[in-house]
């Protein structure tokens, strides 16, 4: 395989040949470096493909078990942790967060509900005070600052993407209720029993399987900082306090930290499996993880609006369920407006369409410039639904 070729391996049912075609076109026409895609229908794997390179220098081929940081695609598994606790009667999504986390009631947040955390409506899109990357690696410091801060907007009134804070907010509630950080809870309750190759952070013993993230082709750091400086405060806090990207995500310190909203690592197969729990209405591989009612509740719409952080990046209003985005009018997860999922910064995606019994995982290492609806991901989603 020359440096200009990207051999695609794996299997693809004949019915879904268009998905293989779109995946190959991502390499030939859309600048893909290394990637994998897995599609499950009715719990059966119909597409499982990988190809390209695991590093920028093109010295390591992307293998069947290559892992990669999937950024905010991690938010789906974090939401799943909260829904498992709610399904067991241990967490009330309509209760004030302070019921479980008393310190959180500070600065007028005593009426913020757990559902507001899950739907990015808590008004805590980012910290008000400067928060360095080293401080982001400190769980206690970060959650204590979130508990003490005043919201940017009236909680419950609008959604505004909580890019990094989401995982600390939902994760601290999971910890207060279960005694475990979300990474450990997810392993104990889901990925361990189901044999799903996904972790929050990355154990050092797995570094050899990790793909190198490659920064998107965007403006230089100084230009990027200038762009962020023009954003409204809630958006600037969400996206640039602290600023993070491919360079940081390749470091041992990032991998060793617990940043549940952004540093989940897995294969496309693992992402399809985690979102497959929702596509299967709570069941995966013969194991029941959620009751059907609890699985359905994840996509309970919390009201469409122009997102206060990402608004300009979408053609229309968007709507969040309780932890995941609804496909809606944008068709982000296919033509069914009630399909749902989550994208990761730069391109990755996990989606579930329980009505069609479909789940998809797409992971890659050359990051595109967008937070959501990367053209490579959309080509794969469109191909899947054309094949159904």
Q: Determine the structural domain holding residue 354 and report its residue range.
A: 8-77+185-387
**Which pTM does this prediction carry?**
0.96
**d(C-alpha 346, C-alpha 280), whole Å:** 27
**Residue 247, in any domain of the structure:** yes
The 10s digit of each residue's pLDDT in 302-340 is: 999 999 999 766 657 899 999 999 999 889 999 999 999
Q: Whole-angstrom Cα distance, residue 371 to residue 342?
A: 10
Question: How many domains does the chain contain in total?
Answer: 1
Query: pLDDT over 70 for what percent of the chain?
Result: 95
178 belongs to a structural domain: no
Residue 85 lies in a domain: no
Does any domain span residue 89? no
Locus of tokens 């491919």: 246
Write phi, then psi, for 200 (nearest 5 degrees).
-85, 120
Report if residue 119 sits inside a domain.
Answer: no
Q: Is 119 a catalytic residue?
A: no
Angle at 374 between CA 388 and CA 349, to 5 degrees: 60
Placement of tokens 């797995």 in the chain: 206
- pLDDT, tens digit, 9 for 90 and up, residues 59-102: 999 999 999 999 999 999 999 999 999 999 999 999 999 999 99
CATH number at residue 73: 3.40.710.10
Judge whether 104 lies within some domain: no
| Residue written as token pair 């938010």 | 75
Tokens found for residue 20: 């293989």
Q: Which member of 2, 72, 125, 291 is catalytic?
A: 72
Whether 210 is in a domain gets the answer yes
Cβ-contact 314, 307 below 8 angstroms: yes
Whether 213 is in a domain gets the answer yes
């Amino acid at each position: 395989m020359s440096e200009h070729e990207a051999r695609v391996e794996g299997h693809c049912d004949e019915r879904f040949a268009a998905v293989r075609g779109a995946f190959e076109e991502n390499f030939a026409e859309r600048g893909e470096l290394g990637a994998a895609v897995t599609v499950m229908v009715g719990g059966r794997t119909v597409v499982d493909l990988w190809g390209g390179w695991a590093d920028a220098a093109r010295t390591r081929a992307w293998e069947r078990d290559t892992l990669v940081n999937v950024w905010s695609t991690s938010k789906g598994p974090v939401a799943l942790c909260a829904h498992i606790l709610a399904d067991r009667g241990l967490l009330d999504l309509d209760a004030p967060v302070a019921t479980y986390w008393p310190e959180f009631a500070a600065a007028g947040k005593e009426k913020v509900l757990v559902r507001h955390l899950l739907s990015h409506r808590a008004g805590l899109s980012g910290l008000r005070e400067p928060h360095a990357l080293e401080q982001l690696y400190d769980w206690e410091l970060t959650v204590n600052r979130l508990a003490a801060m005043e919201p940017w907007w009236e909680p419950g009134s609008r959604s505004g993407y909580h890019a990094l804070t989401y995982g600390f907010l939902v994760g601290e509630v999971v910890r207060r209720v279960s005694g475990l950080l979300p990474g450990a809870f997810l392993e104990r309750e889901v990925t361990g029993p189901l044999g799903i190759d996904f972790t929050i952070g990355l154990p050092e013993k797995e570094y050899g399987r990790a793909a190198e993230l490659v920064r998107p082709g965007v403006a230089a750091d100084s230009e990027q900082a200038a762009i962020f400086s023009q954003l409204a405060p809630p958006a600037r806090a969400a996206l640039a306090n602290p600023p993070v990207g491919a360079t940081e995500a390749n470091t041992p310190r990032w991998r060793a930290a617990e940043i549940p909203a952004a540093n989940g690592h897995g294969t496309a197969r693992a992402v399809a499996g985690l979102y497959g729990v929702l596509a299967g209405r709570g069941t995966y591989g013969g194991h029941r993880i959620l009751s059907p009612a609890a699985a359905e509740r994840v996509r309970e719409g919390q009201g469409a609006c122009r997102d206060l952080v990402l608004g300009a990046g979408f053609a229309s209003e968007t709507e969040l369920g309780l932890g995941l985005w609804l496909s809606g009018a944008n068709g982000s997860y296919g033509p069914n407006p009630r399909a749902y999922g989550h994208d990761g910064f730069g391109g990755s995606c996990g989606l579930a369409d329980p009505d069609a019994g479909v789940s998809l995982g797409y992971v890659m290492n050359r990051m595109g410039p967008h937070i959501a609806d990367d053209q490579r991901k959309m080509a794969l989603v469109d191909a899947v639904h054309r094949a159904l």
